[in-house]
Structures are given as structure tokens and as C-alpha cells.
Amino acid sequence: MQREPASSPASSGGTRTSSGSLRRGTPQNIQGWLYKEGKRFRSRYRRYLILRAGMLSSHRTENSPPTWQVRVADCPFMPGHRANELVIELPQRRISFFASNTNDFQLWLTALKSSRASGVDDFYRFGQLLGEGAFAQVKLAVDKEKGDKCAIKIIKKHGYDPSEMEYLVREMDIMKSVSHPHIVNTIDIFDSPSHLHIVLEYMQGGELFDIIADAGSFSEQQAAQVTRDVIKGIQYLHMHDIVHRDIKPENVLCVSKSWPLLVKLADFGLADFSKDGEIKSEQPSMIGTPGYVAPEVVNKEKYGTPVDMWAVGVLLYIMLSGKMPFYGRDDNACLRMISTGKYTMPPQEWSKISTDGKSLVRGLLQADPNKRLTANAALQHKWLEDPTALSSSPINNDLSGIHSSRRKFRKAVMATMTVGRINNLANLANATATSSSTVGTGSTNSQQNV
């Protein structure tokens, strides 16, 4: 018997499972060969069964289409009277399946039981709406047993086609597998035919940038402390072959509003697995949020973990100056500027910043991903080694514009939903970048507003 992450390719034999160490557990994903008993002569035929997200399907081979598929919650099942026998009541008939050994039998029985677990309402009491998008809401909730506050992300599945569902499955796989002090904790996952409920740690402090804007003053010491924590979270992800792909202000949250802040990374909706630092797919998707995507993404080159470090560079630039390094009248103009990798550090804002602070920004905003600082290298940079040694005096740049109420929100682009639009933007950016010799120059600071 072989255990692997849910994202791994199926093996040629045996049974494999995946599940997370969540508070109340989540339905296990399991797949492997079982033996189906015939109706008349009780002959046994090999069938490849897949249990995923509460749906059970039967296949003649590992890669063939399902001969049938049912929702486990709608089909009673029970151990049979014979050794390693599982009896499943389908809508039209009863089928007996036999595992090869007792260990596989117990794995299947446990997985099927977990798929019939109670719903989110049995464990959590919903409260006020915290946020809402086209296909999802986030609500405040309380654990009925423990009394703890949490945030529940409610995703309506009907807004996704089968290919887009892959993003949701991958998001669940990643969120169940990660655990780090600087990553928002996933408490529970409840999956039903119509909705996906992801129960998350409640980040009462809200967005990092809102706290900074409300404080009225901000020092390099504070900037280094929060940047170090963000990079530690990214370092952990990269060590586990995960690329976040959507590091931006809305996805950096705080446990509370009190200094020193404890910041955590959120939202793995666009995250993906990598191999040797590169996204696994042959042609990585043009994916991310305009303003924060790296040049190699805009230029449709192969990319990987360095894209997250570029986004950290953008965040740090904004924290220190109150301005965007890459901007424009619309997303196309912004992407065109990013594609060149050119930006400026106007003296009005940057003369107040230390040489080491500017050095780190430049190291992160390297257009060449091979020259860009990695998470490990950034954490060894002089500016981040010991934040307490930095100046605690206010920088005195105007940071009021970074508040979410004043910030121009740019939505993340999920490639499978709007790949045509984002690729058109990228093509326009590439086409016009070579014809413009004034990209990144001659602009007023007001055009750099966040």
C-alpha cells in the first residue's frame, strides 16, 4: 500500500489515500483496485475505484472514463459478511467489492465513512458577512463546540466548469498540506455537491496595509519585521514545492492590529506545485494579479518560485514609498511596464530610505529571475538579518493611499476562466514595449497611486 499526496499521479497498483490533519477531518481521497463480484456466477472482475471529494466512481482501467459515479452520501455501504467485502447500495442495485487484503479493506472503509461525515452547519454557527466575490463569500463563524471564532470561505461550485474545478481541488490539497506560523491555518474543509466550505483561522487584524495606513507612521524597522515574516512563509512554501502566484496586499493578513504584528499569507486559489523551482506544466498559465505579476509571467516564459519573490519586492516598494513601482492608465499599460522590468525610485520618497532598504528592493525586483533574490538569500540580506537594528523613526512618506478603501483593487486572474483576456493583455504589452522608449519615465507620482 502506497500513500501519496492527492496531486501525485496514480500508481499502477495498490491503494493510495490522502487526507489532511484538520480539526474534524475531511473526506479522504482514495483510489485503487478492488474486485467486483458478478451478479450471476459470482466471478470477480478488477475495477479501479476512485473516491474524491465525496464522489465514488468505477473504472475498467486507471485512465478510462467512469462506468458509473455516485455521491457517497446518497449510497448506503457496509462491511460484508465475507473477508474484506464492502457492500455498496447503488440507486439501481447492490454491488459487493473485495479488497486484496485487510489493510486495503480498512482504508476503503475509513475513507467511505469520512465521506459521509456531517455538514458544516453541524459544527459551526455562521455570523456576519466579511467579504463577497462572484463565486464565493467569506463569513465570520463560531465553532459550536470550542467557541472559537473562525472565517469560513463558501464557494459556489455551479460557477465553475470541470477544468476550473481543478483549481479548487488543488487549493484544497495545498491548504490541507501546509502548516506554518506565517500561513493562515486551515481548520476544516467540508465538501458537498453544491458548495465547498473552507474553515480558516480568523485574522482579526485584517489586511496589513490597512493597519499601516491607519497607524499614520511607519518605520523601516517595522517594514523589515513584517517583510521578514512574509518571506518566511514563502520560504516554507518553496521548500515544499509550492508557488503561491498571488502575493498581494489583500493576501497578507494580521492576527491582530497590535504591534509587533504577526502577519500570515492567505488565499491559495491560484497556487500550484513546482518541480525544481518551476511550475510543473509544460506551458505555465499566465496567471496572477496585474501590478504584482513578474516580467517572466507577462512575457509568457517558463516561471516558478521567483515570481513570489518579485511580488514581495512590489509589496516592499509600496510599504516604503506609498507608491506602486509599476502602474498605468489600465492593466495593459501596467503589464507593459512590468514586461520591461524598468521602474524608478523618485528622490521625493526614496531619499528617506536607507541604502540597505533600497538594496533589498532592487534585489527582489530583478527582471531576470535567475538574478532575483530567493527566499533564503533575502532572509540573509543585511536589511532583514536583524530588523531591531534598523531605524525606528517614521519614514514620513504618505502611506494613506495604501488603505483598502482607497486602493485600486485589481482582481486576480484565474487562467482557465479568462486566459484569452490576460493573454491578449500580455501580447499587447509585449508588442508595445518595444515601440515605446519612454516606459517608466516622465510620469507624475500621482500616477503611481496604489
Catalytic residues: 246
Decide if 107 contacts 30 (C-beta within 8 A): yes
The distance of Cα 301 from the centroid of its chain, to the nearest Å, equals: 21
157 is in an annotated binding site: yes
Decide if 11 contacts 175 (C-beta within 8 A): no
CA distance 379 to 377: 5
DSSP 219-249: BHHHHHHHHHHHHHHHHHHHHTTEE----SG
Question: What does the chain come to in residues?
Answer: 450
- The one-letter code for the residue type at 263 is V
CA distance 136 to 200: 14
DSSP state of 387: G
The pairs formed by 32-35 with CB atoms below 8 angstroms and a separation of 24 or more are: 32/104, 33/100, 34/86, 34/97, 34/98, 34/99, 34/104, 34/108, 35/97, 35/98, 35/99, 35/100
CA distance 342 to 337: 7
Decide if 373 contacts 364 (C-beta within 8 A): yes
Decide if 410 contacts 392 (C-beta within 8 A): no
- Over the Cα atoms of the chain, what is R_g? 25
CA distance 43 to 21: 39
**How far is CA 53 from each of CA 26, 177, 221, 384, 445, rounded to the nearest angstrom?**
9, 16, 45, 42, 49
Look up residue 146 and give its three cell numbers: 470550542
CA distance 15 to 179: 26
Nearest to 345 by CA among 324, 328, 373, 374: 324
Task: Please list, in sequence order, all residues whose beta carbon lies within 8 angstroms of the beta carbon of residue 240, skipping any fewer than 6 positions away.
Answer: 177, 178
Q: Which residues are annotated as a binding site?
A: 157
Q: Which residues are annotated as a binding site for ATP?
A: 157
